[in-house]
Structure 1
Amino acid sequence: MTVTDDHRTSAAVGRPPRRVLIAVIAATVTAAVLAAITPWPRGFQGAPTGDPELMAELEDALGSRHWQHVAAAHIDGDEVTFTGTGADEHTEFEIGSITKTFTAALFAEAIDRGEVEAETRLGEVWPDLDGKVAEVTLESIAMQRSGLPPQKPWSGWGEGISGILANYIHTDPYRGDAGDIVASLSDVEVGEPEPEYSNYGFAVLGQALAAVAGQDYSELVRDRLTEPLGMKETFVPDSADGLSHGFTASGLPAAPWTLGGSAPAGAIRSTTHDLSLWLRAVRDGTAPGAEAAKPRADFEDDRIGWAWFTTAHGGSTITWHNGGTGGFRSFLGFDRQTGKGVIVLNDSANSVDAAAALIVAATGADSGTTTETETASETGTASGNESSAEGERS
């Protein structure tokens, strides 16, 4: 009996109790599952396309993050070189606030058509408005100094909660339509007319231009910009059905954004092929409304035209805009003097602004220069940023 007891004691010492063993197994399985579903830092995914040398330069400029797929173009005069991984020049991406350059072009085009003037006030577009908001001019909005808040004010707690929730479940936080944008002006508080990046302002600008033209914003983009330039792969979506999704900065899936009534601030989807047409036409002054890119005033450390920023550094002057939605980031910039430019579209919420180095390096300036500036978080709440159809001036 004593021997038996000693044997049992020895066996107990030699292996853990059953409940401990089960806990260890459960923990091991849980760790394995978490490891399998947690995105890890990695390079761009998919088969390479286009020019490998340009892709190598781009990867070197952007560094290692939770990348997914990318398409890029380098412009040198009329010569365009495309590259990508998991995407090519015809792959569609959300371009975020690069959309603002289209809205600004529509503003310039509307002036040329005699539909509005630079100093046209919101109260002239919508006569029911009164007070300070009625005195806000279209040009002040286009130059990001209107006093309008960065984001559309909440219409109620329901909209606020849904906007906050959208950030956590990675969906489009914009619920309102064009009518909601207009209605919100009646209650908005207008601040001082000083430089402040406003996604809400550009939503208002786009809807004002649509109102005076008697067309939807998407129709204006198509009829006045993309069709004349042969940009067949560029459009303003009216529904998320069938649209590709992107990924968060940590690699989680993020739903596509259509932005509803805020579409003029960041809803356009396009390709590097089409944006190469856009960049060259704006650079050369042949695009409808190309004068929007002309610098007109200071904006922090930069100059601003209508939407477009211009940054001087190291002997190079870059005219640019970037963009960001819940699952995409973009950059477009050019040096008007040399004719060189870069476009980068990527389906993750990691900034690609560092691609500006490819323009600067090509012009013989400091290759470490970028135009990256963050004026607001690109992934905040829909009320406090644009959750952002943009934040890095996106």
Structure 2
Amino acid sequence: MTSTTDRPRSVLDAAGDPSRALDEAVRAMDAPDAVLAYSRDGVRSVRHGGTAPPPAEPREALRYETGSASKPYTGLLLERLARDGAVDPGTPAAALLAPGRPVGRDPVTLTHLITHTSGLPPLPADLYPGAVRHWLTNPYAHYTADRVIAAFLRARPRHRPGTRWRYSNFGVAVLGQALVAATGTPWAELVTGGVLAPLGLTGTALAPAGPGIDATGHTADGTKPTPPLLIGGFEAAGAVRATPGDLLSFLDAHLRPAGPLREALLGVRRPLLRRGHGHAHVHTLTWFRHETDRGPLYFHAGATSGQQTFLGFVPDTATALAAACTRRCRLRDTFVTTAYGLLAG
């Protein structure tokens, strides 16, 4: 008889090798390119494949757009800045973006923005007219940081901040601009110095570099290439692009916190709120958290116009999984469910 903690995970075969399960998952993702990077107790396995011919550079060496899976990097940055005394998460964002302006009785704080409880809509209303023609390619490219700030300062939250959960790329974009204002440091420099460099993430960037370095996305049918994502003023919500190895290193850092980010890495595991009635999600400062029979599973997924990413880790089993594919999300897509299933067992 075996216990829950010592029985083999379903991703492993009888010999403890995850390769077969990872290869099957790559095929199930049905994308031009798919890469899975898995670790257990610090031992890594990387598998890749796809429906398209292999690119000139190895799939596992390319950088993939993470979309909303960028948000855990932003949340970790906020936690680090708070622990360093550089910002207070309870600060009203308007106080940083428009000093001297009254913030009102129920202001939107930095914590509200990262936990999707700000009351802001998913996107600012004035983004849509310029984005409609580019919705399936680069809807954010034209929307600058100044426009993000202006839209926030005139916005009226639909609910009192802190009372309801509603996913908002707009809110996290505002958070990024507020952190830039609070520190006087450009976003790329802030993230690189605060998160990427301390974790040794040299295969991670915040802007496209071009063919041979970045993976090429595709439409939902996996046939037509899509252009690299240009994120405008929404950097904090979706700018990260990284190699699968770097994505896994980011997750492994959460499994084995150490160095200057140790306390911040532990802090972002702490549950803060429940998503809402009928949902299993508990929200930390930056991760979704599900309870499983193997302990809490922390995860976040993301998608761009031509790529998808999944990040997840389970501290109790010392396992982590980073998955990426080069196909836009489609109806009844299997990418996230396949990746989540591998990690959850």
Both structures adopt the same fold (TM-score exceeding 0.5): yes
1:320 aligns with 2:299: yes
In the other structure, the counterpart of 1:260 is 232
Asked if the contact 1:316/1:360 (under 8 Å) is kept, the reply is no
> In structure 2, how many angstroms separate the alpha carbons of the residues matched to 1:72 and 1:301?
25
- Matched residue type, 2:35: A
Aligned with 1:97 (options 54, 61, 68):
68
SS of 1:135's partner is coil
Counterpart in the other structure of 2:151: 184
Aligned partner (choices 134, 140, 145) of residue 166 of structure 1 = 134
Cα pair distance change 1:185/1:143, threshold 3 Å = same
Aligned partners of 1:189, 1:342: CA distance in 2, in Å?
A: 39
Greater relative CO, 1 or 2 (CA 8 Å, sep 6+): 2
The 1:200/1:133 distance shift into structure 2, 3 A limit, reads farther
CA displacement at 1:59 relative to structure 2: 5.2
Displacement after TM superposition at 1:54 (Å): 4.5
Residue pair 2:122, 2:170 contacting (<8 A) in 1 also = yes
Q: CA deviation at 1:195?
A: 0.6
Q: Which residue of 2 aligns with 1:245?
A: 216
Residue deviations 1:245-267 (CA, integer Å, cap 9, x gap): 30121122221112111011011
Q: Is the Cα–Cα contact under 8 Å of residues 317 and 335 in structure 1 kept in the other structure?
A: yes
1:353 matched to 2:324? The reply is no
SS of equivalent residue, structure 2 residue 39: strand
Structure-to-structure mapping, 1:272-291, within 5 angstroms = 272-286=244-258, 288=261, 289-290=264-265, 291=267
Could you list the runs of 5+ residues in structure 2 that have no partner in the other structure?
Answer: 1-16
Paired residue type of 2:153: S
Q: 2:121 aligns with which of 138, 149, 159?
A: 149
Aligned residue type for 1:96: G
Q: In the alignment, which residue of structure 2 is the partner of 1:389?
A: none
TM-score by length of 2: 0.81
Q: Match for residue 135 of structure 1?
A: 107
Counterpart CA distance in 1 for 2:215 and 2:25 is 26
Structure-2 residue corresponding to 1:369 = none
**Match of 1:280, SS?**
helix
SS in 1 for 2:190: helix
1:84 partner letter? H
Equivalent of residue 268 in structure 2, options 292, 315, 334? 292
**What is the CA–CA distance in structure 2 between the aligned matches of 1:134 and 1:70, rounded to whole Å?**
45
State the structure with more CA Rg.
1
Q: Distance in 2 between matches of 1:311 and 1:76?
A: 19
The alignment partner of 2:154 has SS state of coil
What's the TM-score, normalizing by structure 1? 0.71
Q: Could you tell me which residue of structure 2 aligns to residue 74 of structure 1?
A: 38
**Aligned counterpart, 2:287:** 308
Q: Report if aligned partners of 2:138, 2:230 keep a CA contact under 8 Å in 1.
A: no
Cα drift, residue 143 of structure 1 = 1.4
In the alignment, is residue 341 of structure 1 matched against residue 309 of structure 2?
no
Q: CA deviation at 1:188?
A: 1.3
Q: State the identity as a percent.
A: 25
Q: Which amino acid aligns with 2:271?
A: P
Any idea what SS the aligned residue of 1:111 has?
Answer: helix
Partner of 1:151, secondary structure, is coil
Preserved contact between residue 106 and residue 209 of structure 1 (Cα < 8 Å): no
Partner AA of 2:91 in structure 1: T
In structure 2, what is the Cα distance between the partners aligned to 1:129 and 1:262? 23
